[in-house]
Chain A
Amino acid sequence: MFGLEGIGVPAGLALTLISAGLCIWYGLKNWNVGHLTEQEDRQKQAWIQEEHKVEETL
């Protein structure tokens, strides 16, 4: 395949391209999946406030 010899190296090249394709497919398929939930946002804001309090105390 493409001037390469045996099975090992062509298989490595094919798997490399397939795995890159898998990343592209997964990224496109889930492009808008997993957006920040309200609960996560509240949690984040709570940590920020707590951190500010600690810094003020120090």
Chain B
Amino acid sequence: MSIPLLTSVVLVYLSIVAFLTVKAYRGTNSAADYMLAGREIHPFVMAMSYGATFISTSAIIGFGGAAAVFGMSVLWLTFLTIIVGIFIAFVFFGRRTRLMGLNLNAHTFPELLGRRFNSRGIQGMTALLIFAAMPLYASVVLMGGGKFISQIMAIDYDVALFFLTLIVALYVIMGGLKAVMYTDAFQASIMFSGLMILLGFTYYKLGGITTAHQRLTDMQEIAVKIFGAKGHTGWTAFPELGSEYWLIVVTTIILGVGIGVLAQPQLIVRFMTVKSSRELNRAVLIGGIFILVAVGVPFIVGPLSNVFFYYENPATAGKISLLAADKNVAQIIPMYISTSMPQWFTALFMITMLSAAMSTLSSQFHAMGTALGRDIYEKALGRSGNSVLLTRIGILFAIMLSYFLAWGLPHFFEGGTAIIARGTAIFFGICAAAFLPMYFGAIYFRGMTKLSAYAGLVSGTLVSFFWLFFVHLKESKPLQLCNALFGVDSLAMGSKWALVDPLVIALPASILATILFNLWGRRLPEQHVQRCFDKIR
């Protein structure tokens, strides 16, 4: 690709990011500005920031590549992300979260829960789990971005990783959540345009919408021949019920991410950044359209890349996408872009990927930093100090931790890119199991007790980690703890339980514990509950 063209595009992009950072820095004067963007964010910025934070490089490259293997059945995840991640999240969770956040003057998700249950312990534990689990998610997003930049610009991975981290660190530390959300909105607009062009070009190249789908449907025999033993029934059909592929598609991809999105701390905090519920209503429209494109396009283009590689590209003729990309799932989408799209689009796609990585990373760094500085150090440990300064130090610490993880992981895991989609799904699953019952109860049930909140948090966390370390083969095998203790890669070795995602077990366990333990424990004072639910109907 033309290096002058690429350099120019990147420089223009970085200049706009720098301008938005300076604008945010000048408008940041208090802790509420730094942590909640002053509670005055425009609905367009809020919705686009929410979407851009949710959609990372791994969603486009990792899950787009996975769609090239599993087929269009993953479109169900697009449905869930729109209906659960946008509609239910904004309409049924967003309004209550915003009002309760305002009633309690909460600046972060752990602070909202801590103040709702009158417990510094819950605030500290929630923040600790965020700080312990999110670096894995942040590091895999960093890895995805770093690997993509190193491939496109032909530079060393370590160099790409260093500069990517440095740029994101600068604007998050300087401008806080305002800088994060302003740049997110800009980056989301780029992602939206890039993906729309990609979809248009793909359908045009393959003969139109119905023709392209039909050509993929006609490749059914090839899919069954290669993956039939695992339950594949063609790229435009659902995998065989109960098969290995069905379990992966349904429990890990569709449910794991589709439900996990409801309990993401870095997304929930955005509900508290808008001025009123009117902004949330407007954001539903904008967010719905953005997610339709951002999640839907990779899940359509990924499977259709099989038609391109098999029939249209002479260099890979007779090969499906996975084989054309040398069995590297994360290589499918970048390879499809570079071989099928015009050169100028490759430059635009590079910026699209950079935007996807940077928007997610900035929010992760901010969420981890506030968890460490505000929730753990300042609130749970009761140390006083300048909130903004403490949060900045927390963010710096979180960035360094994620950077070293992203630097180290590829050295320890062969084919490091495979871990990108897994890391994302693991984090989403842990968040859903540990936080969702407690969060739902906090904003809907006046009679929920502190003990019940603890029960949901602890059981969701413990069951998730137990299933990850000892049952779910995809993690328990590389983690090796199960093998070291019991001599097998999974305690459910040989059965289909070893393929079931932790969320499917941990979330019901957490819900059950939350309900059961609500029978015991003291109710919170009525006056406090009234204050929490003031104006919430």
Contacts and interface: CB of A to CB of B under 8 A. Distances in A.
A3 B73 contact: no
B39 interface: yes
Interface in B81-136: 82-83, 86-87, 91, 95, 99, 102-103, 105
B76 interface: yes
B385 A58 contact: yes
Contacts of B164: none
B284 A9 contact: no
A28 B278 CA distance: 11
Interface string A46-57: 011011100100
A50 B104 CA distance: 13
B284 A23 contact: yes
A17 B238 CA distance: 18
B82 A31 contact: no
Given A19-B83, A51-B30, A52-B30, A3 B211 contact: yes
A49 B275 CA distance: 17
A2 B209 contact: yes
A34 B277 contact: yes
Contact of B76 (A12, A36, A44, A50): A12
Nearest to A43: B102
Nearest to B30: A51
Interface in A1-48: 2-9, 12-13, 15-17, 19-20, 22-24, 26-28, 30-37, 39-40, 43-44, 47-48
A51 B388 CA distance: 12
B308 to A, nearest CB: 16
A38 B535 CA distance: 12
Contacts, number: 144
Contacts of B87: 19, 22-23, 26
A26 B285 contact: yes
Interface stretch (B178-186, B212-220, B310-318, B487-495): B212-220
Interface in B392-408: none
Given A31-B281, A40-B102, A47-B32, A22 B75 contact: no
A27 B87 CA distance: 10
Given A37-B535, A51-B30, A52-B30, A4 B217 contact: yes
Interface in B56-81: 71-73, 75-76, 78-79
A28 to B, nearest CB: 6
Contact of A26 (B91, B99, B103, B213): B91
A7 to B, nearest CB: 8
Contact of A3 (B212, B281, B283): B212
Tell me if A's interface is mostly helix, strand, loop or mixed: helix
A12 B103 CA distance: 40
Residues of B contacting A: mostly: helix
Given A16-B75, A20-B292, A36-B276, A6 B238 contact: yes
B231 interface: no
B210 interface: yes
Given A2-B210, A4-B236, A9 B83 contact: no
Contacts of A43: 102-103
A15 B254 CA distance: 14
Contact of A30 (B72, B211, B214, B281): B281
B237 A8 contact: yes
B296 A16 contact: yes
Contact of A20 (B75, B288, B386): B288
B474 interface: no
Contacts of B296: 16
A16 B284 CA distance: 15
Contacts of B83: 15, 19, 22
B323 to A, nearest CB: 22
B53 to A, nearest CB: 18
Interface in B164-197: none
Contacts of B211: 3
A31 B282 contact: yes
B289 interface: yes
Contact of A8 (B73, B291, B384): B73
Contact of A32 (B76, B214, B278): B278
The 7 A-B pairs at the shortest CB distance, nearest first, are namely A27-B285, A23-B288, A34-B277, A3-B213, A8-B238, A3-B214, A36-B276
Given A16-B292, A27-B282, A43-B102, 19 more contacts: A3-B217, A3-B236, A4-B217, A5-B217, A9-B73, A9-B238, A16-B75, A20-B288, A20-B292, A26-B87, A26-B284, A27-B284, A30-B281, A33-B278, A36-B275, A37-B535, A43-B103, A44-B102, A48-B32
12 contacts: A6-B238, A12-B78, A12-B79, A13-B75, A16-B78, A16-B82, A27-B282, A30-B284, A36-B278, A43-B103, A52-B30, A55-B30
Interface of B: 30-32, 39, 71-73, 75-76, 78-79, 82-83, 86-87, 91, 95, 99, 102-103, 105, 209-217, 220, 233-234, 236-238, 275-278, 280-289, 291-292, 296, 384-386, 535
Interface of A: 2-9, 12-13, 15-17, 19-20, 22-24, 26-28, 30-37, 39-40, 43-44, 47-48, 50-52, 55, 58
